[in-house]
Amino acid sequence: MKKRILVTGGTGYIGSHTVVELQQSGYDVVIVDNLSNSNADVVDNIEKVTGIRPAFEKLDCLDYEGMDKLFTKYAGIEGIIHFAASKAVGESCQKPLLYYRNNLVSLINLLELMPKHNVKGIIFSSSCTVYGQPDTLPVTEAAPIKKAESPYGNTKQINEEIIRDTVASGSPVHAIMLRYFNPIGAHPSALIGELPNGVPQNLLPYVTQTAMGIREQLSVFGDDYDTPDGSCIRDYIYVVDLAKAHVIAMDRILNDKQKESVEVFNIGTGRGLSVLELLNKFEAATGVKVNYKIVGRRQGDIVKVWADPTFANEELGWQAKATIEETLKSAWNWQVKLRERGIQ
């Protein structure tokens, strides 16, 4: 009998890649998504990749009654992976209350419903943004949490506290918080990938859209930072490697005799790459030049952050495997396919 997992935000970028890996690992997946930042044809594309159509409910995680009914309709949900959230840092500064409501209440609803429906555990999408600018690099899970630079980052920090307090209060929940670094790339099938609404805020979609001629020119936000080439450094992780980490974490929740607990893991490659290095590697990997110019710094940018993934490597038995070249090529292949399909 397949174990049933609820994936909130499952038609989103990371969620859709995780649904594919869950299905291919034998899990029965139910997706909940309100389609505020994705569309329903992702369900068709997941089916094309795996041959299995996941159950899909268009529903807002803020709808407590609706979520309660969902758990009843899909009896036997054993675990949850909670991706559903608003995630645009800049937008969160313009609309803080939307972010606090969406990102906090959706989690609270799930935590309240879990004991009622005997759900054993939850994997929460956290972010390296909780570290701010780490004092030492690479950054481990023991690094201090710094004051968030945005309401979005603050929602991740508060969510982690909500989870800790809930488990500490005796709620029979096993929670695993995965702190993602910078997920990039697309599934090798190029049937699913990152499809941001409007002008991309993140680096790689902007790079591939510029390379495709959709955007005139990439602005590199500063080359006067305290880094070897002056541009900011990040830990870019292949989204499929990230998705696989969720399957391992869910296996751990469902197969482990671990009593109620909270665990935190950095999910990164351990490799720092600057913006200018990434551009050079993109051009080398794809043969496509990217038109860019150096402009002023972007407010709130962290100068340099990359993971020490040792704990996840050893305790979870998870390792990022893709090279940066393979990852960048997957992003470009996805952009090419979007053009061929007339989508972008």
Give the residue numbers marked as catalytic.
152
Give Cβ neighbours of residue 324 (< 8 Å, ≥ 6 apart). 236, 271, 273, 278, 281, 285
11 binds ligand NAD (CB under 6 A): yes
CA distance 169 to 161: 12
- Restricted to residues 117-136, the positions that interact with ligand WQD (CB under 6 A) are 127, 129
- Considering beta carbons, is residue 61 or 218 the nearer one to ligand NAD? 61
212 binds ligand WQD (CB under 6 A): no
Give Cβ neighbours of residue 168 (< 8 Å, ≥ 6 apart). none
CB 314 within 8 A of CB 268: no
Q: Which stretch binds ligand WQD (CB under 6 A): 65-73, 95-103, 195-203, 244-252?
A: 195-203
In this structure, are strands 218-221 and 236-238 parallel, antiparallel, or unpaired? unpaired
- Restricted to residues 73-102, the positions that interact with ligand NAD (CB under 6 A) are 83-87, 102
Shortest Å distance, C-beta 35 to ligand NAD: 5
Q: Which stretch binds ligand WQD (CB under 6 A): 51-59, 189-197, 212-220, 334-342?
A: 212-220
Q: Which does 185 bind (CB under 5 to 8 A by kind): ligand WQD, ligand NAD, none?
A: none
CB 230 within 8 A of CB 305: no
Shortest Å distance, C-beta 128 to ligand NAD: 7
220 binds ligand WQD (CB under 6 A): yes
Shortest Å distance, C-beta 199 to ligand NAD: 15
Q: Which does 34 bind (CB under 5 to 8 A by kind): ligand NAD, ligand WQD, none?
A: ligand NAD
The structure tokens listed for 60 are 């807002």
Q: Which does 219 bind (CB under 5 to 8 A by kind): ligand NAD, ligand WQD, none?
A: ligand WQD
C-alpha distance from residue 154 to each of 67, 104, 132, 266 (Å): 25, 10, 11, 18
Among all residues, whose Cβ is closest to ligand NAD? 12
- Considering beta carbons, is residue 124 or 282 the nearer one to ligand NAD? 124
CA distance 139 to 137: 5
Taking residue 331's Cβ as centre, other Cβ atoms within 10 Å add up to: 26
Shortest Å distance, C-beta 237 to ligand WQD: 11
Looking at the chain, list the stretches that DSSP marks H as alpha helix, in order from N- to C-terminal side: 13-24, 41-50, 64-73, 89-94, 96-100, 106-116, 151-168, 203-211, 239-255, 275-286, 310-311, 324-340
Q: Which does 121 bind (CB under 5 to 8 A by kind): ligand NAD, ligand WQD, none?
A: none
Among 4, 101, 146, 298, binds ligand WQD (CB under 6 A): 298
68 binds ligand WQD (CB under 6 A): no
Q: How many residues does the chain have?
A: 344
Reduced to 3 states (helix: H, G, I; strand: E, B; else coil), residue 62 is coil
CA distance 281 to 270: 17
Taking residue 117's Cβ as centre, other Cβ atoms within 10 Å add up to: 18
Q: Which does 298 bind (CB under 5 to 8 A by kind): ligand NAD, ligand WQD, none?
A: ligand WQD
Q: Which residues bind ligand WQD (CB under 6 A)?
A: 87, 89, 127, 129, 182, 201-203, 206, 218-221, 232, 234, 275, 298, 301
